[in-house]
Each structure stands twice: as structure tokens, then as C-alpha cells.
A and B are shown apart, each in its own frame.
Chain A
Amino acid sequence: MKVTVERAALFRSLGHVHRVVERRTTIPILSNVLIRANGGELSLKATDLDLEVTETLGADVGQPGAITAPAYVLFDIIRKLPDGAQVSLETSGDTGQVTIRSGRSRFTLQALPETDFPDLAAGEMAYRFRVPSGELKRLIEKTQFAISTEETRYYLNGIYLHTLESAGKPVLRAVATDGHRLARVETTCPEGAAGMPGVIVPRKAVAEIIKLVDEAGEAVEVELSPTKIRLTMGPVVLTSKLIDGTFPDYQRVIPAGNDKDLIVDKAEFAAAVDRVSTISSERGRAVKLSIADRRLTLSVTNPDSGSATEEIEVDYDATALDIGFNAKYLLDITAQLDSDTALFKLADPGSPTLVQDREGASALYVLMPMRV
């Protein structure tokens, strides 16, 4: 194999691909990135056996072929080469090495043959549809924070993507929850997606998609099989295994009858929560909301350090109510809202609360209260 490529392009693509590689892996070839040169293109591929990212870029192919080389070392080498340089990658006979040349620099890396490189073997993808990039990004960005890291409930370790009829219209919906908060965001159902099975996209894939989605011009092509998902974002193709589990029936925990409406100025509210929570303890970050007559009092009491209160004016006509929430969760949710005002729909101090944009947007959040 012999291929020459522009340093900036290679650096950018390797930057996308090499993140998939686990720093500590016991299988040597998983530390490597697969480099394949063929027909005027260079393709790079990395995998951790659950997730695979491939990117293709234009290159001057002197001799087609393929090899695998240590991903992080290669990335660091390319990173340190001067901008605007040309880089050539060449395998040298059967010595099992790959040589990188650029200007007066020359590196030789131990390589492993392409044949040992694992393939996720995506197989037949039964569903295929295109989602506008911005919409996909919104679905994921606004739900990602609620993904659980709890090993025991592994089926919560991802975003649940599914289609359904909502208010008489077919929608594609993303849901994530860790049991304490839930995020639900939807978009118009893309053509070809209706009837797709509900799938749970794992956390690591979600994090990569967010970083790669901007590569995809207008739309992302999504393909689904019962066990895998593949997203084509411009020159980047990400294939991931899905979480093999059943996402809980989240609909029943979304409160329908909460009738106490609290409307707050989002920025003012978030700043106040942030201030009073300064003195809260590491473990219990509860902030108490006391709401009466258009006035909201936020307070935190920490037996070890002291107390804090702050009052803000709000829109609230229902009966007075005291309720506690985790300060961090309140901040996470308000950060996701688009409009300047947030609407809290409350029931009582022990029941889940609904949070959304005042102008009924397509994003909706549920928050479990804490005892205060």
C-alpha cells in the first residue's frame, strides 16, 4: 500500500475515527485503526467491537492495499506535523511495518495485518430513512443528559428511539431516563421510519453521533436492523450495536393531571438555583421550592455548612406548595429549554413534576422530587 494525503484532511478524519478506540484494551488489534487505500480514496476505520466508525477521504493512491496501525500514536504523529504538509503512508514489503513520511520526518510503526481487523458485520438493515441533521442533533442533545450510567439497569444506558402517533401525527421520538429525570423529545416522523422497532442507542454511540453529526450536510441517513444501527453522516459512517433490552414503559410516569402551573423566567430561575445550591452537600443536593402568591422562595439547608435562600417573582395562582428537587437536575433541565420562560406543572411534593417550554415545544421533561 502506498498513499499520499493532505495532512489537514487526514488529521480531521483520524480525529473523528480514533476516539472509538479504547485506551485500555486487552486485544491488541483493537488499539489499531484500519487504513485502506483504493480507487482514489483513503478509508479509516476504528472499532471497540460495539461501535465502529469509518471515514473516507480523497487521496492519491500510489498502490492500493490495507494495513492497521496504532490509532493514538498515528493520531499524535499527524497532529504534530505542520499544517499544509503532505503525508505519505506506505507499507514496506512483509516486515509488518508502516512508514509515515512528511517533509523531512519519517516514522516507522509496528502494524498488524488487515485480515485480523474485526468487522461489526452489520448484515441486512431492514429500515432506512433520512432525518434532517438539525433534528437528529436536537433529539440527541436534549435527551443525552438524562441517560443513566447504572450498570444494573443497563437498558437505561442509552436513548430510546421509536416512532408512534402523537396528537394524530406520526413522530420519531427520543427518550432517556435515569429514574430521577426523564427527557422526551420528538420530531416529525421521517419517511420510511414508521413502524420501525423501538431501539436503545448506547451512550458511547450517542456521544460520538453528537460530535459527528455536523459532518453530515443536510440530512443523516439512518439504517436499522434488530440489533444494530448505522448512521451515515457525510463521509463518516457510524455503526453501533443496540442495547439488548426492553426500555420501560415511560408513558405511565409522565404525569397528565398536574394542574398547578408555575411559570418562571428561565435565566433568573437557573441563576438563583445555582446560587443557593453553593452551600449544599455533595450527596444530597436538594433545593426547596416554596411557592405562594406569585413568589417562589428557593432555599437550601445543609446542617454541615449553613443555609441560603433567595426569592424570585413568578407566575403562580394555585394553592401554596413546598417541594424539593436536586439542584443539578433542575439546572440540567433548564439548560435544555429553548424559550426564555419555563413551565413547571406540579401536583404535590411527592409526585413527579413536568417541565417544558412555555410555548408547548416538542421537548418535555419529568423530574422526581426529593424529600426536603
Chain B
Amino acid sequence: MKRYSAFAVAREAFRNHLGWDRAWRAARPKDRYDVVIVGAGGHGLATAYYLGRNFGITNVAVLEKGWLGGGNTGRNTTIIRSNYLQDASAAIYEKSRSLYESLSQDINYNVMFSPRGVMMLAQTQHEIRGYERTAHANALQGVETRFIGPREVKQLCPIINLDGPRYPVLGALWQPRGGTARHDAVAWGYARACSDMGMDIIQQCEVTGVRSSGGQVTGVDTTKGSIACSKLGLVVAGHSGVLADMAGFRLPVESVALQALVSEPIKPCMDVVVMANTVHGYMSQSDKGEMVIGGGADGYNNYTQRGSFQHIEETVRALVETFPMISRLKMLRQWGGIVDMTGDRSPILSATPLSGCFINCGWGTGGFKAIPGSGWGMAELMAKGHSPLTAEFGLTRFAEGRFIDESVAAGVAH
């Protein structure tokens, strides 16, 4: 792999950019791998990357039924934060956020991590108390957050309307080192780094069955033939239930559509991420100038990768209340992704009833921010059988009642 650098850009500028390599090889599947990862989204590729980087396991294939990063990795609103209430969540999300800080250098690929700051607005007395509690919890967990008043909110985000028609802005939970990153670049960068370590990334290769013998996984059947493996990682977000069905177990997961939209590009007007959970909408501005808007999930099981119209209306109405200047903006695109929601709104990183088969799912509406940390923990889990990052996110917690209850802690949008 040729390293990307300022020097490389200058060199290529003098020879019509003919010297760039493919970022990753178009691999054909071999008969056998040590580890097969299903799903070449951010989480799957990060798992493969840290298996190689931290544990030297490089005989790895990453299988993808569509195209690389074409699922939720390419469909989210790119927000990165770690201001969670529960210790287990804060640990894995903060690990993830801190890995994002140096990810571009680590994988030699510019993921455009922008720690511009994330604020979650408090618009009721209940929310003030909730976020003050989170700020105190974060102080104990070593996550830098602070509760700020309305004046500071207005200073950080001048386009905000503090006296909205329904809910005034009473303050906010502010995480200065939260922000955004370029979502496609995260998938592409990990894929390039994995390919460089000799791993095979196989696109348009759908898994159609899981092979096992005596309760031990032995391989997968795919549309490109059978592939044997001794360890299997299922990292497929919305389709986790379908893969778990093939592997012979059931998950505490339901798949629903979550949608987002972007406006036409406008001049820079907002250099922080604002989440308004009471009115339910969140917004940031991309480097191209588009306002990136996220809203709510549909209230029923859905595999269609599009959302219902009334949710767009609700989201946009909430944001026009909060940012009156966007009322005349035209929306350019709208899309949906299938998110896997668990009962306690926390992810599952776990061994499964099928020996050698591991699952990483249940990130629900907030998976992008967790990509590096999730990959780090999942790789350790798959290589060593246990990981301090994933210990509390086991599948058995739903039978044992050890929930990591972020649904009560965070309420809505992650």
C-alpha cells in the first residue's frame, strides 16, 4: 500500500494522478479463513481491522451482500459523542470517541473527524435534572461534559431560538470533544487498512446459510460458494435477526426504519451539533454546507430502508421551531436505514449459543459514533473470548435482568 501524504499528493499532481492504487483489492473468496466477518459496514470492518492490528489475526474475510459501507454506515448523521449515563456505555462510547481522535493517523486515511462539540438541549425541568445527572456521571467516568446555561448555548450556536413556541431552551449538556466525521471515509479507510494486512473484502456476496457441526460453527454458505471458518462474526445491524435465524438462535432485537435528510447547501451558519430531544430533531452542518437532519424511527417493524412521511414532517417542524432561519430551506435528499433496536436500547456484543459464532448488533439509532470502540471490543472478544469493553453487553443479560438501560437514561435519539 502506498501511504497517503502531502508528498504523495504533490507527486501525483505532477503525473496526472495516474499513480494512485485501488484503495482495497477486489478479492475472490478462498475456501477457508480463520475468521469470517459478515457485514462490511463500519463495525464489521473495524472488527476485522483490530483483529489484525491488535491480535495479528489476518487470515480474515469480510463478506458484504451489497456494497461496502452502503448500509447504516452510509446512512447516518455522522454524530460522535460519548455522554451516556451508564458506566458500561460511557466506557465503550468514550473508547470509541478517543479512537476517532487519532483514527486518521492510525489508518492513514482522512476520516475528517471534527470535534466541533455536541450539545443536547434541555427544554424541560425534567431534562435539566436528567442532563445535570449525566454531567455528574460523566465526571466520574472521565468523560468531559458540562451543563451550560441558555446564554452559553446562544453564544455557541447563534442561530438557535431560545424562546421557542412550545419549549424554551433552558440549557444544554455540552460535550466539547464530540463532533462529526466523514462516514464513508471511516468505512473506506478501515477497508483499505484491512486489505493492506492481507484480508479479503468480498462485496456482493450474500450469506445464505450458517454451517455448523456438533454446536460448533464450521462455515457459511454464500452466493459466491461455501466458505469454511473456525470463527464467525455477525455484524449486520438491521438484518441481525435474519442471520441469527440462519445460525439457529433468536435475538431480543426488532428492526425499524430510521430516516435522515439533508438540505440544499448554504453558507456556514452553525459549527456545533445540536440535538433537541424534547421536540425531537437534531442538526449539524456538513463541510459542503448542507444541513444534516436526523429524526425519529418509525413505530413498526420494517426492512424497507425508507421512512414514513409524517416523521419527516415532525422532525422538520421541531427544527423550524428551534432554528427559525431554516424555514425556507429546501430539502435535497431523504433516506432511511434499518436499525436494530434492543429491549434496553443498548448494543449486544456477545458470544452466542452456537460455539465460535459471535454477534455484534443492537446499536439501534446510534451506531456510527461507536464504530472504532465496537470494533476494538469485538476483536478482543473474538480473539480472546472475553473483553472488558463488551463484558456487560452479553446476550444473556436479557434473561438475567442486568440491563444497561439507556432507553430510560437517554430517552430518545442516540
Q: Does A associate with B in a complex?
A: no
Residues of B that sit less than 8 Å from A by CB: none
